[in-house]
């Protein structure tokens, strides 16, 4: 998601202009929209025209409308978002108060205005517009004098820093200038790591190089961390993993990510994410039970209401071919015995749903 403009007043009223760039952005947009909001976007409208001879025809024109939102329909299969409401600004094709449905499109901007932007919605915009918030893997691909720092998200790889330092060659009888050049290079890479890696999000940091560059650099990195009393680097040392690469150029990242030891480590990272998701579910079950559902009937009802934010499914239930439409939200497959005891499926919701009497009746009859 790209943020083009943001204008929020002190009373929290205001508007933002956004451009959805990938399918996941449509899900974020759905979460931003609420009934009563004002949505301005380009759309297609069928209009009737009358010729000088009196004959009536129709044509489709592209125009920009501003609607007061009344209904929001999100197609999870096609990732399409349709917003229906009444026109609230003068337009040559559409009367004031007339109904229209805007279908939001990828790579086409829209402006959303609210009377009150709460902190949760603003945080969602920040996360959607900052892909680094979804990057749980970082990689430093390096060789002497060259390093590329890359963040890996589920959708893309992002080059965050390129470090180039000229390192003098070793001379007979003296390596002083060479060593000083290496130290300047290592220092620059260390600063790039500290500047661009969010250690609260990133769970694995790959350091890849040909030869012993990676080993020498990490030795320097953690010696400096101790010398400078840098707690962030010291506490996150277990996240660093050394890997071989054929060069320090960005294209070597592909071979690094396909290394079997790396794929195994990243699967462990995913498992850690599953554990945290289960812990978050139990916390929500204790403190906000109307937003923590378990059991197939309950979760299906929440999915029908498009309320699911995070879904946890046990491998056992998956092997039984239980079908849920899971495309738009965070999904965790897990072998957790705790989840199996909760019938194999659980969900954390975006908003509370209190009345589940029908689902409970269905669950009881299914069990019978």
Is residue 221's pLDDT more than 80? yes
User: Is residue 310 helix, strand or coil?
Assistant: strand
Mean pLDDT of 75-79: 68
Provide mean pLDDT across the span 338-359.
75
Q: pLDDT band at residue 143, thresholds of 50, 70 and 90?
A: very high
120 and 143 share one domain = no
What pLDDT score does 276 carry? 75
pLDDT of residue 5: 96
Which is higher by pLDDT, 309 or 333? 309
The band of 59, judged by pLDDT with boundaries at 50, 70 and 90, is: confident
Q: Are residues 94 and 175 in the same domain?
A: no
Decide if pLDDT at 235 tops 90: yes
- For residues 229 and 171, membership in a common domain is answered with yes
Residue 144 to residue 162: CA distance in whole angstroms:
13
pTM, 2 dp:
0.57
Q: In what order do the strands lie in the sheet with 204-209?
A: 157-164, 146-152, 137-143, 204-209, 240-244
Look at residue 264 and tell me if it is in a domain: no
Same domain (yes/no): 102, 164: no
Q: Which residue has the higher pLDDT, 332 or 247?
A: 247
Alpha helices in 16-159, H assignment, sequence order: 23-32, 119-129
Q: Please determine, for residue 272, whether its predicted confidence score (pLDDT) is greater than 70.
A: no
Backbone angles phi, psi at 228, to 5 degrees: -90, 0
8 Å CB contact between 245 and 256: yes
Q: Which pLDDT value is given to residue 333?
A: 47
The token duo for 195 is 């500047």
Tokens of 37: 């909001």
Residue 62 falls within a domain, yes or no?
Answer: yes
Domain count for the chain, please give it: 3
CATH code of the domain in which 251 resides = 3.30.420.60
Rounded to an integer, the average pLDDT of 163-180 is: 86
Q: What percent of the chain has pLDDT over 70?
A: 85
User: Do 279 and 254 lie in a common domain?
Assistant: no
CB 300 within 8 A of CB 280: no
Note the pLDDT of residue 350.
Answer: 87
**Chosen domain end from 99, 129, 159:** 129
Residue with tokens 């204790």: 286
DSSP 323: -
Q: Take residue 201 and report the two structure tokens written for it.
A: 């999000």
Selection from 182, 185, 195, 197 nearest residue 150 by Cα: 197
Which residues in the chain belong to E strands, given as ranges?
2-8, 14-19, 38-50, 56-75, 80-87, 99-104, 110-114, 137-143, 146-152, 157-164, 204-209, 240-244, 292-294, 308-314, 330-334, 345-349
Judgement on whether residues 278 and 343 belong to the same structural domain of the protein: yes
Does residue 20 sit in the same domain as residue 119?
Answer: yes
Top mean pLDDT of 74-83, 204-213, 351-360 is at 204-213
Across residues 41-60, what is the average pLDDT? 83
**Residue 105 pLDDT exceeds 50:** yes
d(CA 368, CA 363): 9
At 321 the pLDDT is 35
Residue 265 lies in a domain: no
- pLDDT attached to residue 270: 62
122 and 142 in a single domain? The answer is no
- CB count within 10 Å of CB 242 equals 14
Interval 117-136 mean pLDDT: 83
Residue 55's CATH number: 2.30.30.870
284 and 242 both lie in a single domain: no
| 116-120, 127-131, 335-339: the lowest-pLDDT one | 335-339
Per-residue pLDDT, 361:
47
Cα distance between residue 207 and residue 307, in whole Å: 40
Q: 21-30, 286-295, 357-366: lowest mean pLDDT where? A: 357-366
Distance set, CA 117 to CA 13, 112, 114, 130, 360 (Å):
6, 11, 6, 19, 36
Structural domain boundaries enclosing 211: 133-258
Q: Choose between 131 and 162: higher pLDDT.
A: 162
Q: Identify the domain boundary among 201, 227, 258.
A: 258
pLDDT at position 57, please?
Answer: 78
| 234 occurs within a structural domain | yes
**Domain for residue 197, yes or no?**
yes
The verdict on 282 and 242 lying in the same domain is no
What pLDDT is stored for residue 231 in this prediction? Answer: 96
Would you state the pLDDT for residue 329? 47
Higher pLDDT, 267 or 64: 64
Rounded to the nearest integer, the mean pLDDT of the chain is 85
Q: What is the pLDDT of residue 322?
A: 36
Residues 107 and 13 in one domain: yes
Q: Does residue 245 belong to any structural domain of this protein?
A: yes
Position 111 scores a pLDDT of 98
Point out the domain boundary residue: 87, 110, 129: 129
Of 195-199, 269-273, 326-330, where does mean pLDDT reach its minimum?
Answer: 326-330
Output the six-digit token pair for 198.
């969010």
Q: Give the residue with greater pLDDT, 16 vs 22.
A: 16
Look at residue 221 and tell me if it is in a domain.
Answer: yes
- 67 and 140 share one domain: no
- Find the CATH number of the domain harbouring 293: 3.30.1330.30
DSSP class per residue in 32-70: H--TT-EEEEEEEEEEEEE-TTS-EEEEEEEEEEEEEEE
**263 within a domain of the structure (yes/no):** no
Quote the pLDDT of residue 202. Answer: 92
Mean pLDDT of 279-295: 91
Q: Which long-range contacts (CB under 8 A, 24 or more apart) does 1-7 make?
A: 1/25, 1/28, 1/29, 1/125, 1/128, 1/129, 2/129, 3/125, 3/129, 4/109, 5/111, 6/125
């Amino acid at each position: 998601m790209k943020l083009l403009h943001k204008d929020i007043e002190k009373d929290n009223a205001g508007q933002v202009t956004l451009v959805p760039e990938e399918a996941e952005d449509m899900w974020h947009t759905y979460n931003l929209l609420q009934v009563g909001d004002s949505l301005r976007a380009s759309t297609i409208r069928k209009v009737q025209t009358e010729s000088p001879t009196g004959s009536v025809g129709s044509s489709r024109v592209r125009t920009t409308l501003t609607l007061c939102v009344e209904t929001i329909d999100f197609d999870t299969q096609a990732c399409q978002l349709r917003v229906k409401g009444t026109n609230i600004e003068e337009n040559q094709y559409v009367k004031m108060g007339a109904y229209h449905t805007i279908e939001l499109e990828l790579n086409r901007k829209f402006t959303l205005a609210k009377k009150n932007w709460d902190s949760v919605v603003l945080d969602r915009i920040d996360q959607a517009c900052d892909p680094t918030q979804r990057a749980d893997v970082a990689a430093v691909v390096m060789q002497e004098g060259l390093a590329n720092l890359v963040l890996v998200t589920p959708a893309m790889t992002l080059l965050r820093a390129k470090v180039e330092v000229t390192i003098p060659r070793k001379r007979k009888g003296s390596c002083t200038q060479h060593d000083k050049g290496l130290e300047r290079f290592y220092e620059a890479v260390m600063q790039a790591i500290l500047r661009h890696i969010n250690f609260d999000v990133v769970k694995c940091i790959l350091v890849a190089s040909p030869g012993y560059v990676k080993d020498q650099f990490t030795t320097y990195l953690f010696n400096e961390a101790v010398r400078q009393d840098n707690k962030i680097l010291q506490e996150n040392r277990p996240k660093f993993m050394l890997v071989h690469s054929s060069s320090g150029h960005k294209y070597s990242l592909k071979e690094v990510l396909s290394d079997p030891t790396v794929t195994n480590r990243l699967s462990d990272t995913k498992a850690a994410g599953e554990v945290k998701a289960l812990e978050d579910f139990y916390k929500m079950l204790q403190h906000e039970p109307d937003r923590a559902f378990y059991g197939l009937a309950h979760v299906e009802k929440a999915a029908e209401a498009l309320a699911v934010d995070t879904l946890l499914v046990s491998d056992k239930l998956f092997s039984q071919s239980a079908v849920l439409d899971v495309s738009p939200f965070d999904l965790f497959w897990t072998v957790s015995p705790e989840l199996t005891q909760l019938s194999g499926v659980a969900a954390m919701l975006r908003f509370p749903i209190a009345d589940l009497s029908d689902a409970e009746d269905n669950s009881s009859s299914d069990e019978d």
